[in-house]
Structure 1
Amino acid sequence: MPGQPLPPRIDRQAVVLIHGIGEQRPMDTLREFAQSVVPAIPNSSTPLFYSKPDQLSDNFELRRLTTNEQQASFKTDYYEFYWANLMEGTKVADVWSWIRSLFIRRPGRIPKRLRWLYYAFWGTLAALFALVGLTLSWVVAAWNGLADTGWVRIVAGFVASGLLAYVNNLLTEYLGDAVRYMTPRPPNINQRQKIRQAGMQLLRRLHETDATGTNRYDRIVVVGHSLGSVIAYDLLNLFWCERSGKLPLLPVDALNTAEQKAIDLSEKRISQEQYRQAQFDLWAAQATLPGSWRISDLITVGSPLAFADLYLADGVWSLKNKADQREFPTCPPVMEKNKDGDAFFSFPTKRTDAPRTLHHAALFALTRWTNLYFSSDFIGGPIEGFGPGVENHSLKPQSTKLPFNSHVTYWKISEPESLSLLRKRLELRFPKKHE
């Protein structure tokens, strides 16, 4: 169609999946993900993908899954950024300290979507204390009357030990990962640093070129589930800061369009989809050049970033202030104005080959952000604190009605709506690279 931009030039692309909390085993999450989202090959009896050596990760437990595409198309490699082994040594005291910081506050400072959990927490705690009191009263009475037999002592010991072990496992093996990553206390800094260093190394290697200057990958999509979405956001932010000042020449027309669309979106003069198209056009115009930014999309699934004002900042205003100060990249990026009142997220550079470059928090000038969440998933939700360019999709789970249980079903075959939308936003098929 005349006037429409050409399809992106892609020979090979990569999808990086970042898993969430829990005792994850290497490759289990990635295999399940790929088995669900990889497009079927018509009239073919070959496997959807092959398991090949992962030469980019410094973890011998990992493999890359390469799709078995037709020769007329291109291939997609699936990688897992596995970080669970880097988060060790969590103590119950760490979790309880975090819980106190979340729930010992006024109800008005709790996000509305989580407020019922706030009241449920305090109600459950009160009921638990009452139950413990009644149990202790019964044990003391039974002990005084039947201590000579010893059976009360044995039963009470088993019950107490079992309950303690269960709570300890629940808190440390599941909540513990989130607590330690999202709480920058001194005991947690080393683990946070190791995770980010490993993730940055993977992104650097995905962006490498060969001896001829050809890109290893022309397009990269990062998918983060649960806590993995927070890690994904951090990694893209850090990697952008490292790379943004070294990007090749950005086409002036595409850059001007992206900035104007960002202004129009913020003032509600255009649709979100129009801004997303401007982002993609700016990305595609530079993506295949050496030294380019090849991450076209961030997809967050069941993301705690929905409650960033609770987890990452001290309230809504604190989150906004950090975004205005460019500590947290927003979508669209935070803009500034010159003396003539013109708004922009690029600025002149001293380099003679590029008149303007994007500022250090302008990641989402050319990377699209899609967020999926189930209505019953209270770990995730709509991401509204990072700008109007984040495309939020609220979905109704079809395979479970239990709260929280839907958190681990986003790419299950039993969730066709979620799976279909995820496939659509991954955009795994493009026309073959133009000659």
Structure 2
Amino acid sequence: MIDQNTSARFPKGRTAFLLIHGVGQQNPLETMDYFARNLLKHFHKQKLPFKLEHLIARRRLSTGSYWTESFVRLSSTDSEQEWLIDVHEYYWAPNTENKISVPEILQWAERTLEGTIEFYNRKDNKDLLDQLLANKNRTSFFKYRLRLLTIFLRIFNFVYPALRTGIWLILLLIGPFLRGSFLQSAWKLSKEVATPPLVNFVGDVAIYSITDPKSPYRKVRQQILEESLILLKAILKDKQANYDQVILAGHSLGSCIAYDTLNLLCIESSLSQDENKRLLLKKIKGLVTFGSPLDKMAFFFRDMAQEGQYIRRRILEHLNSFRTKPESVRQSPYFTQNPVICQLDQVHWVNYYYLKDPISGHLDYYENLDNVEMHYQASWGVEGHLGYWTDPSFYESLADRFLYISR
């Protein structure tokens, strides 16, 4: 037991965090492990009396089959304190891993680049282009990052066959002298060695951002969102835990999944007349996005309607309108009333970003959220993108905003 400090602040009520990981080679329970361990460090620093438990729950998949969820619970060892914090994880990595080839990733990047250039070159979009170029962060992304990524993928796609073949021959020759992971198929291992992490990261984003109903990857996106929504609903309905508040926390592409999950809830609540379901939604008190590309993803999706398709464009805007700024939505004399009435006004949205994280940024496309710049020490790139997980100030900020009451 940790000695209780009379000046300590104590968590309030019964809280559930639903964590959604980002791109990369993720393993089950890793996201939960990172988050819970660093939350524990924060509580140790606060000298709070607490215990940590591993719990299980029966959950259902969209297919109807059941699975066993493992999650962790932090609760007080002080009988006078009845707070608890459960940390859940939505693990979606297998849905996108090794599903898309390098040429397909290149095609996606080139289509995205060509589509965005075409969209902003239209005469009726001149005001949007002016707004984009007035924002330094978006200008940098629009002018350089997407083009550089496309050039990199073109070069990699050209050298990839020869590079992989060369690595395969080397592994085949030295295989008898190696152990461990090198004992797997030399051809399979050559792909892992030859493919840089950036290509795998872009592959995850490419699969998730493809919304064309004719694409085979559309089903992957739908499955990810269906399972995320089902798990969130199960947590909200959990009578035994009986949470006072549920907070979605998404890193990187996981922030887009978290946002899209809430957007789906807005649509569902607009269709439902069940007051009990609407009361359950009131338990969702927070959305935490960190290392988030949400602005960039919205930027990608803006070319979903062709020039002149103002009816289709307006419908798509309605279906993706959760916390979208009014000025970000095209003005039209038609469809002035949005049929999607969101019931999530109580959600406190906090976006954390770091200037040396190439994925994240200040979210300007949305409204009613707090943008918080982080100041940990990390180099530009992957280190900057992952630094949130171990930054003490990140957990201190989360606790201040969602967990504590003064005594």
For 1:117, which of 109, 134, 145 is the aligned residue? 145
Q: Secondary structure at the match of 1:365?
A: coil
Report the equivalent of 1:66.
Answer: 73
How far residue 334 of structure 1 moved from its aligned partner, in angstroms, is: 5.8
Given the alignment of the two structures, is residue 420 of structure 1 paired with residue 396 of structure 2, yes or no? yes
2:156, 2:281 → 1: CA distance?
A: 56
Structure 1 contact 95–171 (Cα < 8 Å) conserved: no
Partners of 1:215 and 1:128 in 2: how far apart?
A: 50
TM-score (norm 1): 0.64
RMSD (Å) for aligned C-alpha atoms: 4.2
Distance in 2 between the 1:170 and 1:43 partners? 39
Partner residue of 1:327? 319
The correspondence for 2:102, drawn from 70, 86, 92, is 92
Listed as ranges, the matches of 1:276-295 within 5 Å are 291-295=280-284
Q: For each residue in 1:68-119, what CA deviation from the matched residue of structure 2 results, as whole angstroms up to 9, or x when unmatched?
A: 2243231111100111122242222321111212334649778314233246
CA distance in 2, matches of 1:165, 1:376: 27
- 2:319 is paired with a residue whose SS is coil
1:191 aligns with 2:220: yes
Letter in 2 for 1:391: D
Contact 1:102 1:310 in 2 (8 A): no
Q: Which residue of structure 2 lines up, in the alignment, with residue 366 of structure 1?
A: 346
Corresponding position of 1:40: 43
**1:6 counterpart residue number:** none
Task: Indicate the SS of the match to 1:54.
Answer: strand
Provide the residue aligned with 1:241 in structure 2. Answer: 267
User: Identity percentage over the alignment?
Assistant: 22
Q: 2:385 aligns with which of 376, 383, 407?
A: 407
2:389 alignment partner, SS class: coil
1:142-153 equivalence runs, <5 A: none
Q: Distance in 2 between matches of 1:310 and 1:292?
A: 28
Give, in angstroms, the shift of residue 17 of structure 1.
Answer: 0.4
> Counterpart of 1:55 in 2: which secondary structure?
strand
Kept in 2: contact 1:18–1:223 (CA 8 A): yes
2-side partners of 1:36 and 1:395: how far apart? 16
Match of 1:203 in 2: 232
- Counterpart residue number, 2:330: none
Higher helix share: 2
- Whether the 8 Å CA contact 2:21–2:91 is kept in 1: the answer is yes
Which has the higher mean CA deviation after the structures are superposed, 59-68 or 180-189?
59-68
The structure that has the greater radius of gyration is: 1
**1:171-190 counterparts in 2 under 5 A?**
173-185=200-212, 186-190=215-219
Q: Please state how far the C-alpha of 1:383 moved relative to its aligned partner.
A: 1.2
Distance 1:421 1:316 in 2: 40
State the distance in 2 between where 1:95 and 1:228 align: 19
8 Å contact kept, 2:287–2:347: yes
3-state SS of the aligned residue for 1:175? helix
Q: How many residues align?
A: 335
Equivalent-residue separation in structure 1 for 2:223 and 2:154 (angstroms): 39
CA distance in 1, matches of 2:82, 2:168: 66
Q: Which structure 2 residue ranges, 5 or more long, are not aligned?
A: 1-11, 121-128, 133-137, 172-186, 328-335
Q: Does 1:227 align with 2:253?
A: yes
Whole-Å separation in 2 of the counterparts to 1:116 and 1:316: 24
Q: Deviations over 1:182-241 (max 9, x none)?
A: 11242112211211121111122122264xxx9822211000110001111111111232
CA offset at residue 45 of structure 1? Answer: 7.2
Tell whether the 8 Å contact from 1:15 to 1:78 is kept in structure 2 after alignment.
yes
Q: Which runs of 5+ in 1 are unaligned?
A: 1-9, 137-152, 250-286, 336-343, 347-358
Asked if 2 retains the 8 angstrom alpha-carbon contact of 1:225 and 1:301, the reply is yes
Deviation of 1:54 after TM superposition, in Å, equals: 3.3
On the 8 A contact 2:350/2:371 being kept in 1, the answer is yes
1:303 paired to 2:281: no
Write the letter of the residue equivalent to 2:292: S
